[in-house]
């Protein structure tokens, strides 16, 4: 660190932070201490909420070497601050105490506990909301408002108890999840004492594990160094297919072990929480692995941390809520000043003046607003759980309501997991031969192709059942061979113990070999798009077989063995939506030991064998869901590792690309000429082609000029290689391509993540739906990641669906929209409720009067609390509409709705307040206003012109009080009815039976109190008896307010056509990046270019005009 004042921690990782050095100054610290005492503890609270202020107030900047305090700031859009005291640990102390040298791994390892800062958990009780609630309760007790204070305490206790219970349930589940791998016994190999048994919780990095037997839970992250393992990683990735793990290659390279692996280093790691379902020993007769991570640093620890501390979302709804609360605080401040003026001029005691002024804050700022905003999310989460959709980050449910682009993996997501083997196309030096169809029941003749299908796979034999990838399973079953573990007689013939052996069934003796032993596997990798096995024929040759993407396999073959018609033949089948796999082989020298053969030596100079054709059907739910999303104007994008033309066909069959829309193929290549790279644009057109006796479609490249003005819309299709070249050399074109890019094929896991990030930089709200381990990065990168998995929680994504189809996507969007609208409804209602009380109380303050405790209690508990609990129970509307709800609280329609309803309530209260004073009976005694039978009520009240305290609660009974209370109480119910939104995002209000019942009962009770004339009830509520005609006037005023409010809400606020017309009138245009690019491209007659080849050194295509991606921040501007 040296003399630098700033450093970066965990650079390039998800938890990257900036660190600044500070030195404490004694005099500044003393001043802060004095301020804390004088402010009665308010200053420490402010410093707790704003850690950076604490450091800036107490310290001065200095170099990190001199610092005794460091200020940490996250590098994401939140810029969250925290601070730590610096503690120096001298290596000499460690050396003398523990015998550690400066080069010891514990000290040099950046991830060791000595080099990691441990963050203290936040004290939730010091949240500003709880502090404000505590202040309110203390104030109410001081005013003898015990009932509501006790009610708030009781509600808080119930709320906290439910929260604690819920947290306890989650904690127990998490504890079981964690404890499952802490309570097992493992075998550890030590230098001196040899192999000994050890409890897994005592493992430390560097321990050498001995893996024996099957069905072993991994208690840590470990690197496999000897033998092979088959692992179930479903708990982490959602991938139900067993994964084969291979040992780390033994090389003398000084490079870190992660970089020594050709493709994915994770294929050598046994992750904590996964289950080793089978082990296969190699030469050492033992399967060994070295511990690299334990505890929370493991993959399972990452899952637990992601559940405990989900990544925060940059969603402006919550920031807007805080801003509006501050506006309410400002309004309350105005009310405080007004209250001080009125009560000081009326000669009230200073104590009463202060209490009344502070009361205004608790009335104007509803303490329950932050909690009310989350109730919609809680109900939505419960409804999702009933549908088998689990969530580890509930705050993202609201974000689901803003999704306008969803990316889908193809295989297993849009199409079925199971594949049907359609046929195989063998080839020889004369080219491709006739298709061998397995539907006829005729067995494939013996030869290298049959041997490849029987042995080139990662299937395992577990409990006498063959398990593995469905593709491998279908291919192996087609050979009619059987699988067995090697026995003693096989071992004598040179086959290692526990090797997988495949052999022809006794009923089919067409093969001249007794069997084939699989000696070594180079497992399939999404990045490499291939797998290779080394096998030994019993009494025959040692061979290597390769299986994978046709283009990749062909590149490793001898050119003369690849038929000249390879491209056209491949195009025939991929265009029909088939999944095509190529097979190749070579003979190996038998004297080489398999462990000494590297992948590079094996995968070269192969002989091309032919194509395997598999039928991959769409899931039944795929097309309807995609059609629903497209009709709702939500973009759908396919990101797959499969062949490009297969992807195009699936996109057409699924409706992602309609029949009237064109597909433009983009191909980009790095060149060796004067330019660095080239990019070409070609139109793909469907033409009829007769193949294998059936008339079907295939894709051809059209050379004519395409007029996008007459042909309709278009979609871009490209593969991972082209995407990478464009990203590097044609960055100025990337956003233009992404605006209409729909099909991305042959994408590696890293490219999938990169593509999702690029979409986010265009201000799209991106969802990603996938089912496998190769989608994990993209699932975590997206705003909303949905994993199709049997597990309830997965580290891969915030949402996990147990139903293995994409229906969960539309359900999530519907529930997200419903939760978002519910949050807005509750926000508006709580704001209006507080403003209704605020207006009423300030009017009564004018007469130095107020509402009684029981009047407050009735409004707060019997009305508002019940409405707040039941108003949010509306389910999601079953149909997706082609527009999204507002994503911000500070949006013109919502603000206008709140302001207009506040003005309506204000006008109604003022009218009632003024009119009641002008009534002819206003100056009479109470018994002259009511009927004779209620004359005994006169002793409860006297003339309203000379108000006097009655009862122990110290409130005033007056005609103004009675009028204002009835207007405010019933208006709270009216506002709930007006703001309870139904279509188009939620179910109609009348379907919320509990809410409707509650409102009917509340209205009935209020009208009963209004017209009942029960002296004891009126006395308890501090109400005065008024003439029946005046009560009718109150009902008329409330009815008028309801009708006007309903008209304004329906005809103005919810009138989408009106707001669109206003936007057009004022020339408003969305500032979202994708909208800006869409407008620019719509006016560009030269876009898209067709039948052109551009080079990276041409003007407009190079890096000189590169598109600079800004740091992403969600822009929730409306459509």
**Residues noted as catalytic:** 409
**Token pair for 454:** 């029987």
**Token pair for 251:** 């090389």
CB of 778 closer than 8 Å to CB of 756 = yes
- Which residues, other chains included, contact 833 with Cβ-Cβ below 8 Å and sequence gap of 6+? 366, 859, 864, 972, 975
d(CA 608, CA 600): 17
Alpha helices in 732-806 (DSSP H): 734-740, 749-761, 776-781
d(CA 42, CA 48): 10
d(CA 745, CA 752): 10
| Packing angle, helices 26-38 and 51-58, rounded to 10 | 130
d(CA 311, CA 62): 31
H or E segment at 70?
Answer: strand 69-74
d(CA 702, CA 790): 44
Peptide bond into 984 cis (omega under 30): yes
d(CA 97, CA 95): 6
CA distances from 123 to 39, 49, 126 (A): 21, 11, 6
CA distances from 375 to 317, 1068, 1093 (A): 14, 34, 56
Residue holding tokens 């070594």? 520
| Packing angle, helices 42-49 and 51-58, rounded to 10 | 110
Comparing C-alpha atoms, which of 205, 209, 188 is closest to residue 197?
Answer: 188
589 burial level (CB within 10 Å; 0-12, 13-18, 19+) = exposed
CA distances from 45 to 37, 78, 319 (A): 12, 21, 20
SS3 82: strand
Comparing C-alpha atoms, which of 496, 504, 499 is closest to residue 476?
Answer: 504
SS3 840: helix
Read off the DSSP letter of residue 978. H
SS3 654: helix
Positive or negative torsion for Cα 704, 710, 715, 721 = positive
DSSP 820-838: HHHHHHHHHHHHHHHHHHH
SS3 sequence of 457-485: CCCEEECCEEECCHHHHHHHHHCCEEEEE
Backbone angles phi, psi at 228, to 5 degrees: -120, 155
DSSP 395-438: THHHHHTT--EEEE-STTTTB-S--EEEEEEEEETTEE---EEG
**Token pair for 524:** 């399939």
Comparing C-alpha atoms, which of 632, 633, 623 is closest to residue 878?
Answer: 632
CA distances from 291 to 74, 242, 282 (A): 30, 22, 19
CB of 544 closer than 8 Å to CB of 516 = no
d(CA 1000, CA 982): 18
């Amino acid at each position: 660190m040296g003399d630098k004042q700033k450093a970066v921690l965990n650079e390039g990782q998800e938890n990257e932070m900036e660190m600044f050095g500070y030195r404490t100054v004694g005099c500044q610290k003393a001043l802060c201490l004095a301020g804390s005492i004088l402010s009665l503890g308010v200053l420490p609270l402010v410093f707790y909420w704003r850690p950076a202020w604490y450091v800036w107030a107490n310290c001065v900047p200095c170099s990190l070497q001199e610092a005794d305090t460091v200020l940490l700031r996250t590098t994401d859009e939140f810029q969250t601050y925290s601070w730590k005291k610096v503690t120096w640990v001298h290596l000499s102390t460690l050396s003398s105490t523990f015998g550690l040298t400066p080069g010891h791994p514990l000290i040099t390892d950046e991830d060791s506990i000595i080099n990691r800062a441990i963050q203290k958990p936040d004290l939730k009780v010091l949240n500003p909301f709880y502090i404000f609630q505590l202040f309110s309760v203390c104030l109410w007790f001081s005013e003898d408002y015990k009932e509501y204070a006790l009610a708030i305490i009781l509600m808080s206790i119930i709320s906290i108890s439910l929260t604690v219970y819920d947290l306890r349930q989650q904690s127990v589940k998490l504890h079981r999840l964690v404890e499952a791998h802490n309570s097992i016994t493992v075998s550890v190999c030590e230098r001196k004492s040899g192999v000994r048994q050890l409890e897994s919780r005592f493992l430390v990095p560097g321990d050498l594990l001995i893996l024996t037997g099957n069905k072993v839970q991994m208690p840590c992250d470990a690197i496999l160094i000897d033998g092979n393992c088959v692992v179930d990683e479903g708990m982490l990735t959602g991938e139900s297919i067993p994964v084969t793990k291979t040992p780390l290659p033994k090389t003398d390279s000084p490079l870190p072990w992660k970089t020594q692996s050709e493709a994915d280093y994770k294929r050598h790691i046994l992750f904590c929480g996964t289950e080793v379902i089978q082990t296969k020993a190699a030469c050492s007769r033992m399967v060994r692995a070295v511990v690299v991570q334990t505890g929370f640093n493991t993959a399972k620890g990452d899952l637990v941390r992601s559940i405990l501390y989900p990544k925060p979302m940059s969603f402006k709804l919550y920031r807007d809520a805080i801003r509006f609360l501050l506006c309410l605080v400002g309004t309350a401040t105005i009310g405080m000043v007004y209250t001080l003026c009125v009560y000081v001029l009326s000669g009230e005691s200073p104590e009463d003046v202060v209490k009344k002024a502070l009361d205004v804050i608790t009335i104007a700022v509803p303490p329950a607003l932050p909690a009310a905003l989350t109730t919609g999310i809680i109900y939505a989460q419960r409804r999702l759980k009933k549908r088998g959709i689990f969530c580890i980050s509930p705050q993202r449910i609201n974000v689901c309501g803003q999704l306008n682009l969803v990316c889908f993996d193809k295989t297993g997501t849009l199409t079925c997991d199971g594949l049907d083997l359609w046929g195989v196309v063998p080839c020889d030096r004369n080219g491709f031969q006739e298709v061998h169809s397995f539907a006829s029941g005729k067995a494939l003749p013996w030869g290298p192709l049959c041997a490849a299908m029987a042995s080139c796979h990662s299937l395992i034999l577990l409990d006498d059942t063959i398990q593995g990838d469905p593709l491998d399973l279908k291919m192996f079953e087609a050979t009619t061979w059987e699988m067995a573990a090697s026995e003693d007689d096989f071992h004598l013939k040179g086959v290692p113990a526990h090797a997988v052996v495949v052999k022809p069934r006794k009923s089919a003796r067409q093969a001249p070999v007794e069997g084939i032993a699989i000696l070594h596997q180079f497992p399939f990798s999404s990045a490499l798009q291939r797998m290779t096995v080394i096998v030994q024929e019993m009494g025959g040759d040692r061979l290597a077989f390769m299986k994978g993407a046709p283009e990749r396999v062909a590149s490793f073959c001898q050119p003369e063995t690849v038929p000249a018609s390879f491209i056209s033949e491949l195009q025939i089948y991929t265009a029909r939506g088939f999944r095509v796999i190529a097979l190749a082989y070579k003979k190996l020298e038998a004297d080489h030991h398999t462990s000494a053969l590297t992948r590079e030596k094996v995968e070269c100079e192969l002989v091309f064998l032919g194509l395997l054709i598999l039928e991959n059907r769409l899931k039944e739910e795929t097309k309807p869901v995609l059609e629903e999303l497209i009709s709702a104007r939500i973009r759908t994008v396919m990101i797959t590792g499969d062949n490009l033309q297969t992807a195009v066909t699936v996109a057409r069959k699924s409706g992602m690309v309609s029949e009237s829309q064109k597909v433009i193929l983009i191909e980009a290549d790095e060149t060796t000429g004067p330019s660095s790279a080239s990019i070409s644009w070609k139109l793909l057109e469907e033409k009829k082609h007769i193949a294998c006796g059936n008339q079907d479609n295939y894709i051809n490249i059209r050379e004519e000029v395409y007029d996008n003005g007459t042909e309709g819309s278009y979609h871009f299709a490209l593969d991972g290689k082209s995407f990478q070249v464009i990203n590097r050399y044609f960055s100025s074109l990337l956003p233009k391509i992404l605006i209409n890019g729909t099909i991305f094929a042959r994408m590696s896991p890293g490219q999938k993540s990169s593509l999702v990030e690029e979409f986010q930089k265009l201000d799209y709200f991106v969802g990603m739906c996938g089912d496998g381990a190769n989608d994990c990065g993209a699932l975590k990168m997206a705003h909303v990641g949905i994993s199709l998995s049997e597990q309830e929680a997965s580290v891969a994504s915030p949402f996990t669906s147990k139903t293995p189809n994409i229906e969960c996507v539309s359900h999530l969007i519907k529930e997200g929209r419903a939760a978002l609208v519910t949050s807005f409804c509750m926000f508006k209602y709580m704001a209006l409720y507080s403003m209704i009380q605020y207006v009423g109380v300030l009017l009564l303050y004018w007469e130095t009067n107020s509402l009684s405790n029981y009047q407050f209690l009735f409004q707060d508990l019997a009305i508002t609390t019940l409405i707040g609990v039941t108003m949010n129970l509306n389910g999601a509307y079953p149909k997706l509409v082609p527009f999204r709800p507002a994503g911000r609280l500070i949006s013109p329609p919502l603000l206008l709705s709140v302001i207009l309803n506040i003005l309506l309530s204000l006008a109604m209260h003022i009218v009632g307040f003024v009119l009641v004073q002008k009534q002819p009976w206003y100056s009479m005694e109470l018994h002259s206003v009511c009927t004779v039978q209620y004359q005994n009520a006169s002793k409860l009240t006297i003339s309203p012109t000379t108000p006097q305290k009655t009862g122990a609660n110290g409130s005033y009974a007056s005609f103004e009080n009675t009028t204002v209370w009835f207007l405010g109480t019933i208006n709270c119910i009216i506002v709930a009815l007006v703001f309870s939104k139904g279509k188009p995002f939620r179910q109609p209000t009348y379907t919320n039976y509990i809410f409707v019942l509650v409102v009917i009962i509340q209205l009935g009770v209020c009208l009963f109190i209004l017209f009942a004339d029960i002296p004891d009830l009126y006395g308890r509520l501090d109400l005065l008896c008024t003439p029946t005609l005046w009560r009718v006037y109150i009902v008329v005023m409330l009815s008028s307010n309801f009708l006007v409010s309903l008209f304004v809400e329906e005809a103005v606020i919810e009138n989408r056509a009106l707001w669109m017309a206003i936007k057009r009138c004022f020339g408003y245009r969305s500032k979202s990046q994708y909208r800006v690019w869409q407008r620019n491209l719509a006016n560009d007659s030269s876009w898209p270019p067709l039948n052109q080849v551009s080079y990276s050194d041409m003007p407009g295509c190079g890096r000189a005009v590169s598109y600079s991606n800004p740091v992403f921040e969600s822009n929730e501007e409306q459509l």
